[in-house]
């Protein structure tokens, strides 16, 4: 496969542990946030989203927390598995009148040790 990115922040966890991936977003006016997972050789895959009127949302084994005061997002993965190894991106939707754009963060490489 291809490496998604070099020199990414890396989070190394043991299989079965919980993982927390953090992201600082750029625009206080952003209203919608998404976490994506990108495995080697593949495009980003939607994990979970959250709107700015919420501070927490849960999915299957994943939880997203939003702190608008400090413009911070986190993704929590419970009972991390080897298949969770990937690069994780947060993205915000910046509203620009009639057009909206998806702005991605720099990504974090999650390495799950068996």
Partner 1 sequence: KAGVTQTPRYLIKTRGQQVTLSCSPISGHRSVSWYQQTPGQGLQFLFEYFSETQRNKGNFPGRFSGRQFSNSRSEMNVSTLELGDSALYLCASSLVQGPYEQYFGPGTRLTVT
Q: Which stretch binds partner 1 (CB under 8 A): 19-27, 50-58, 74-82, 93-101?
A: 93-101
88 binds partner 1 (CB under 8 A): no
Q: Is residue 16 within 8 Å of residue 113, measured between CB atoms?
A: no
54 binds partner 1 (CB under 8 A): no
Token pair recorded at residue 36 = 């994506």
Q: Which of 23, 62, 93, 109 binds partner 1 (CB under 8 A)?
A: 93
Q: Which of 12, 29, 56, 101 binds partner 1 (CB under 8 A)?
A: 101
Token pair recorded at residue 37 = 């997972």
Residue 41 CA to residue 18 CA, distance in Å, equals 25
């Amino acid at each position: 496969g291809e490496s998604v990115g070099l020199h990414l922040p890396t989070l190394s966890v043991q299989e079965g542990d919980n993982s927390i991936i953090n992201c600082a977003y750029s625009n206080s006016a952003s209203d919608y946030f998404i976490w994506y997972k990108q495995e080697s050789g593949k495009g980003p895959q939607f994990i979970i989203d959250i709107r700015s009127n919420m501070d927490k949302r849960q999915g299957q084994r994943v939880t997203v927390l939003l702190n608008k005061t400090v413009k911070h997002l986190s993704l929590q993965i419970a009972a991390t598995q080897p298949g969770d190894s990937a690069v994780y991106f947060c993205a915000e939707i910046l509203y620009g009148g009639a057009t909206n754009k998806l702005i991605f963060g720099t990504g974090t490489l999650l390495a799950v040790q068996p």
